[in-house]
Structure 1
Amino acid sequence: MAQRLSREALRTAVIAAVLATVAAIGWFAWNSYREHYVVTEPDEGGPAVSQIVTARLSGMSSLKVAELSGTVQATASDIRGFGWLRSDQVVKMPYSVDYFVDVSRIGPSDVTWNEESRTLVIDAPDIQAARPNTDEGRRTLVRTSGMFVTREAGEELARRTSQAATRAAEREAVSPQRMAQAREHGRRALAALMGTPLSSLGYGDARVIVTFPNERGRRVEERWDTSRRPEDVIANRW
């Protein structure tokens, strides 16, 4: 009898857990749908107004080291009415792309110290380009052509030109030339970041060398004195 009761209790607990999981998934799905697709009305009623729907503030461990900015041109076409209604659009707008390096991924094994040459070598993770930001509110050119552009066609053209602008900015941002430039900015930013505590501890003349993954295979091998960790050197200063 007790065994049967315990089985019933276990079954009840499993069913309750499943129902709770389903309810949680449904609640999050509804909240996401409401946030993105449902018009948020003001508390006192009336027409919809411009307002913040949600806001989230998150901490970051990434260091911004560079920014690419400029103007992007994007084009798009839309065909409707069995091919009879064709509309085209050309837009120009400002864009920007931020470059970051995740300093939280730099651990003790990524840092070596050469006491003789007073050189700190940092093997940093590679630079990452963020998602491009296209400022559609500051478009400098919007040229739409077509015999008859419906509202749906206009909305689709706007969506496609926005996507095309983002893709073009992303291609430019991750091109070898731009990534090389971003790495140089990242090298200087990390050297300044790591050089400040060294200077305060009496190592103002120390060199800080920053390397990225694509450079380490081609780096000229040197006989680094790694018998002393940087934290040991710093500890001896106190």
Structure 2
Amino acid sequence: MTSWQLWKPAPAGDPLATMLTAFARQDRLTVFSAELAPVVASDDARLFGMLKSRQVAVIPARVDYAIDLSAIGRDRLGWDAAAHRLDVRLPPLQLSRPNLDEGRAQYLREGTWITGSAQEQLTRENTRLAETQAAQAAANPALMTLARSAAKDALRQNLTIPLQVAGYADATVTVRFDGESAER
């Protein structure tokens, strides 16, 4: 046994209070981001269908996945003093509204003569479609699995440090989402 083990300071304070303090300071934690590139198309007809135009667009989009830390109260934390283990149950992930990068968008327009108002209408419709498509793509199971895994890793890392500072150097943190079984 080393002298550090004999003389190390005893853990101080309530580990759950330490975690809640850490959460109160952050409020929201972005844990994952997905870059998507929806491909959308819109059609427009003017002058009784005589002027037809079509616009295909690839509009890059970013969606962030976050945890609302303010929703994590004592009821979502469990401290096993004997095992020095903190169990955390997370609320569902929150997905941001897709952030479309229209500056990097690529457009292909078809039509003999495309009026300015038709072009504006096509662009508005493609923007709406791209946002809808990006939101749907962001919620697909593969991306949600990656985001949940990233959330667990991020919370595990963010909670281990305050525990160590509070004197629980050997503490472990287990993280799960509502509806998942506890990992041991």
TM more than 0.5:
yes
| Counterpart residue number, 2:160 | 195
1:64 aligns with 2:39: no
Q: Deviations over 1:58-100 (max 9, x none)?
A: x982111111114332211112222222210112232111111
SS in 2 for 1:122: strand
Q: Distance in 2 between matches of 1:113 and 1:60?
A: 21
Structure 1 residue 142, shift from structure 2 partner:
1.2
1:146 alignment partner AA? G
Aligned to 2:133: 168
The two structures have a TM-score, normalised by structure 2, of 0.80
Aligned residue number for residue 42 of structure 2: 76
Gaps of 5+ in 1: 1-58, 223-238
Q: Is the 8 A contact 2:63 2:95 kept in 1?
A: yes
Identity, % of aligned pairs?
Answer: 34
Structure 2 residue matching 1:181: 3-state secondary structure: helix
Compare CA radii of gyration and give the structure with the larger one: 1
Q: Given that residues 176 and 182 in structure 2 are in contact (C-alpha distance below 8 angstroms), is that contact kept between their aligned partners in structure 1?
A: no
TM-score, length-normalised on structure 1? 0.63
Q: Are 2:79 and 2:86, in contact at CA under 8 Å, matched by a contact in 1?
A: yes
Q: Deviations over 1:106-132 (max 9, x none)?
A: 101111011222211011111111000
Q: Partner of 1:76: helix, strand, or coil?
A: strand
Which residue in 1 is equivalent to 2:9? none
Instruction: Choose which of 146, 150, 157 in structure 1 pairs with 2:115.
Output: 150
Question: Partner residue of 1:181?
Answer: 146
Q: Does 1:90 align with 2:56?
A: yes
Q: Alignment partner of 2:60: what SS?
A: strand
- Which stretches of structure 1, 4 residues or more, deviate above 4 A after TM superposition? none
Q: Which range moves more in the overlay, 154-163 or 109-118?
A: 109-118
Contact 2:38-2:60 within 8 A present in 1 as well: yes
Structure 2 SS opposite 1:148: coil
Mapped partners of 1:153, 1:79: distance in 2: 8
